[in-house]
Amino acid sequence: MKHLVTLTAVTALFTGCLGQPEATPAEAGAAPSAVPSAAPVSKVALEVEQAIRNVDVGKSLGEARATLEASLGDATLSDDLRDEATLALARARDALGDREAAITTVEGLLEKRVDKHPWRFEDAADALLQKLVSGGAQPSLGEADEGSIVVSPFARALTPFFPVQEGAVKVSLLQFGAPTDADELGTFAVVDAVRAKAREACPLCDKSPSGHTSSSRHGSWTSIPAQRARLDRSLVVFFFDLGAHKIPARYDAYLPLPSAEVIGRLEKGEGLVVVKSRPGAPPVILLGAPREAQLPDVQKALAAMTEIPAAPVAVPLTANLRPREIKAVMRSARGAMKKCVEEHAPKADGTLKLRFDVKEDGTVANLTTKPEGEGVSDAAFLACIDKAAGALTFPKTGQKLTVAYPIRVTK
Q: What's the rounded Cα separation, in Å, for the pair 386 and 339?
A: 13
Minimal CA–CA distance to 54: which of 65, 43, 44?
65
pLDDT of residue 117: 56
pLDDT of residue 143: 41
Minimal CA–CA distance to 410: which of 369, 367, 352?
352
Q: What's the rounded Cα separation, in Å, for the pair 152 and 36?
A: 38
Q: What's the rounded Cα separation, in Å, for the pair 113 and 187?
A: 31
Q: What's the rounded Cα separation, in Å, for the pair 125 and 32?
A: 11
Using DSSP, state whether 287 is helix, strand or coil: strand
Q: What's the rounded Cα separation, in Å, for the pair 264 and 33?
A: 59
pLDDT of residue 183: 78
> How far, CA to CA in Å, does 72 sit from each of 45, 48, 103, 218, 273?
10, 9, 17, 45, 53
CATH tag for 43-134 (out of 3.40.50.261, 3.30.460.20, 3.40.1160.10, 1.25.40.10): 1.25.40.10
Task: Measure CA of the first residue to CA of the last residue in the chain; give whole Å.
Answer: 40
Q: What residues contact 312, with CB distance under 8 A and at least 6 apart?
A: 257, 265, 272, 273, 274
pLDDT of residue 203: 77
Position 15, amino acid: T
Q: Per CATH, which fold does 2-13+322-409 belong to? A: TolA/TonB C-terminal domain (3.30.2420)
**pLDDT tens digits, residue range 386-408?**
999 999 999 999 899 999 999 99
Q: Are 124 and 150 in contact (CB under 8 A)?
A: no
The secondary structure element, H or E, covering residue 218 is strand 210-218
pLDDT of residue 21: 32
pLDDT of residue 202: 82
Q: Are 290 and 242 in contact (CB under 8 A)?
A: yes
Q: What angle do CA 355, 359, 362 make, to 5 degrees?
A: 100
pLDDT of residue 207: 72
The secondary structure element, H or E, covering residue 301 is helix 295-303
| CB atoms inside a 10 Å sphere around CB 138 | 7
Domain with CATH 1.25.40.10 in the chain: 43-134
Q: What's the rounded Cα separation, in Å, for the pair 294 and 19?
A: 43
DSSP 30-62: PPPPPPP-SSPPPHHHHHHHHHHHHHHHT-SHH
Minimal CA–CA distance to 121: which of 63, 207, 199?
207
Q: What's the rounded Cα separation, in Å, for the pair 23 and 237?
A: 41
Using DSSP, state whether 235 is helix, strand or coil: strand
Position 350, amino acid: G
**pLDDT tens digits, residue range 133-155?**
877 654 444 444 445 578 999 99
Minimal CA–CA distance to 215: which of 182, 262, 263?
182
Q: Write out residues in the chain with pLDDT < 70, as ranges.
A: 1-41, 114-119, 136-148, 180-182, 206, 411
pLDDT of residue 7: 53
Domain with CATH 3.30.2420 in the chain: 2-13+322-409
Position 301, amino acid: A
